[in-house]
Amino acid sequence: MRWALLRLLVPALGAGLAISAALAPAAAAGPINWPQWGQNPQHQGFVDVAGQSLNNVLADLTYDPNVPAEQASTGGDLLAHYQAPLLHENDVFMEFKGGTFTDADHWNTQTWSERRYHWQDGQLVEMWSYLTSWKPEPNGPGNGQSSKQDRLGLGGWEPVFHAALANGYVYVPDASGTITKLAMGDGSVVSRIDPGYPAKANTTTFVAGPLSADSAGNVYFNAMQLDNTHPWGDDYATDIADSWLVKVSPADTAQKVSYRSLVSRAPTTCTTTYNATTDTPWPPAGGHPAQSGPCGSQRAGLNIAPAIAPDGTIYTVSRAHFRSRYAYVLAVNSDLTPKWQASMRGHLDDGCGVLLPIDGGVDPGIGCSLNASQYPAGTDPATGELPAGRAVDQSSSSPTVAPDGSVLYGAYSRYNFARGHLFKFSSGGVFQGTFDFGWDTTPAIYQHGGSYSIVIKDNHYDANCCPTAAAPPPGPYFITQLTAGLSIQWRFESPSRASDHPNGFEWCINAPAIDTNGVVYDNSEDGFVYAINQGGTQKQRKFLKQAIGAAYTPLAIAADGKLYTENDGDLFVIGS
């Protein structure tokens, strides 16, 4: 979607120790489990096992019983982000929601738990459940979004709760920016880790995105301290209190660094957008950029899982609190000192006159007026400047580190039919190119023949951002494999058709999975989960249930090749 058993007795402590002892050797042997977002510290989404055939639904667990109420509140869309299933041998660890849902402005009436399930006699059996005190960041001003151009606030997109497996434990987000370490075997609390945030009146601190772990067992996450009255700065005066990248050692020692100190060259005054009532059509006559305003401090983008390269470099993404068009891909040394910062401004030139015809469009911010000839070719019609890659808080895009050390990040951009762009930077922060899709996606990596390929969803959306005359029809919808240089190798087009979806259905996936044979696994709004061969042919598909308007969700492949996929608040396990 763009926007779219009865509990058994708690096992003996010895069972927990056995699981803990098994975790380290299995992880060291190669990528055959799925302990975090994107499978490994680099988020490459690959396992060295063959996926099972998609013949049977082996289990179906409802992890979000509030889906009907959530969809009713949006007219049918499901705008909640969800945890990837965390897999270790015969266990799956998954978030489960409870409580009640009324509307996006009160989603903290819900609860979030982490549960362990174990395969026993062909059934997934619940072994334990831990109820966290974690709550999501607030939706924001009014309807949750001050404007589609600035995208302050969350617009009804519920932030993600996301645990990680490391060191034989389960690390889960908790309240006030803390995390809790649980014993894998019985779910008992081993420790609660508080990074020691400074106190500030009228603020609340949040664990702001998935937890990640490196090969040495260090756990990383982002934290935000938001103002309780204007959390997203909708008055353009209330800045964020602070935001941190946090590192927790296997011994529970916490370090943190403020994002303000990780970005040294960020401006304080930023270009905004043209006025929607006085400057239409966009861009207006005169060839001048839009007005300027305060940027706000640099802070973590919401829902971003830090990626960690084999050399210990940490990759994350920062943005100005008020302005998503001022965003950076950041490299941070293992001691949390800055390594480099790479702006996502100044690299795109595919707006007016390129992707968007100069056709005299008159609606604010949608399309290009005849005045666009006065501006540089490729201008963003909303700003009068060359476009910028944006880090928006409605997304769950996270960095991926490629085998050559380069880093990929899926940024948002509204002017190109809301498709965004995938940015690529070298291990030294040098810009290497873009691909014309990046919205809410963490690409996967397939290594082969001494090189690698990049797998990404490639949805062609409808024209909510552009005048009717310039708008392509909705679709087609692809899973696309790119070369390391971001050129297309193959595409697999959504094969389903319906009267209201004549060009196919969106791929509702934000992090694909790839098995040892290069088979790509994705789920779609048509209700099917797909296995796609290298070359872009369909190997198999299995119908689960239709998920029109379902939010983008991750999936995972187990050590035995079972596929764990999510659809409309249910976790499905598929296999032979």
pLDDT in tens, 385-416: 999 999 999 999 999 999 999 999 999 998 88
Reference 415, options 338, 467, 359; nearest CA is: 467
- What is the spatial distance between Cα 421 and Cα 413, in angstroms, rounded to a whole number? 7
474: CATH: 2.130.10.10
- Mapped onto helix, strand or coil, the DSSP state of residue 558 is coil
Q: What angle do CA 487, 488, 489 make, to 5 degrees?
A: 115
Q: How many CB atoms lie within 10 A of CB 77?
A: 19
Number of structural domains in the chain: 1
Q: Quote the pLDDT of residue 528.
A: 95
Is the peptide bond prior to 476 cis by the omega test (within 30 degrees of 0)? yes
pTM: 0.93
Round to whole Å and give the CA distance between 576 and 561: 9
Distance (Å, rounded) from C-alpha 158 to C-alpha 79?
A: 6
Asked if residue 418 is part of any domain, the answer here is yes
User: Which of these, 353, 341, 444, lies nearest to 44 by C-alpha position?
Assistant: 444
* Assigned domain for 185 exists: yes
> Rounded to whole angstroms, how far apart are CA atoms 465 and 164?
37
536: left (phi over 0), alpha (psi -120 to 50) or beta: left
Task: Establish if 507 belongs to a structural domain.
Answer: yes
Task: Decide the pairing of beta strands 553-554 and 509-511.
Answer: parallel
The SS3 assignment for 74 reads: helix
Contact 305, 314 (CB under 8 A): no
Cis peptide before 283 (omega within 30 of 0): yes
Asked if residues 398 and 497 have their Cβ atoms less than 8 Å apart, the reply is no
- In terms of DSSP bridges, do strands 488-493 and 477-483 run parallel, antiparallel, or are they unpaired? antiparallel
Quick check: 391 and 301 in contact, CB under 8 A? yes
Cα separation of 314 and 300, whole Å?
A: 13
DSSP E strand stretches across 296-347: 298-300, 307-308, 314-320, 327-332, 338-343
The whole-angstrom separation of Cα 82 and Cα 62 is 12
d(CA 260, CA 239): 12
Res 147: pLDDT: 56
Q: How far apart are CA 121 and CA 139, in angstroms?
A: 43
Domain that residue 208 falls in: 13-575
**Single-letter amino acid code for the residue at 261:** S
Does residue 310 belong to any structural domain of this protein?
yes
Nearest C-alpha neighbor of 183 from the set 9, 17, 7: 17
* Residue 388: burial class (beta carbons within 10 Å; 0-12, 13-18, 19+): buried
State the pLDDT at residue 65. Answer: 97
- Residue 506 is assigned to a structural domain of this protein: yes
| Mode of pairing for the β-strands spanning 164-166 and 123-131 | unpaired
Query: Which tokens go with 172?
Result: 């889960």
Structure token digits, residue 167: 């060191």
What pLDDT score does 474 carry? 82
Q: Are 252 and 317 in contact (CB under 8 A)?
A: no
Domain presence at residue 474: yes
DSSP state for residue 370 in the 8-state scheme: G
Token couple for 125: 């059996």
4: in domain: no
Cβ atoms of 530 and 524 closer than 8 Å: yes
Six-digit token pair at 236?
A: 């353009």
> What is the DSSP code string of 438-455?
-TT---EEEEETTEEEEE
The pLDDT, as a whole number, for residue 26 is 37
Query: How far apart are alpha carbons 556 and 199 in whole angstroms?
Result: 39
Residues of the chain with confidence (pLDDT) below 70: 1-30, 142-150, 361-366, 462-473
Contact 427, 313 (CB under 8 A): yes
Tell me, what DSSP letter sits at residue 522?
Answer: E
For the purposes of burial, counting CB atoms within 10 Å of the CB of 249, is it exposed (0-12), middle (13-18) or buried (19 or more)?
middle
Q: How many CA atoms lie within 13 A of 326 on its CB side?
A: 23
Tokens for 519?
A: 């088979």
Is residue 3, in this structure, part of any structural domain at all? no
Model pLDDT, residue 27:
37
Q: How many CB atoms neighbour CB 285 within 10 A? A: 11
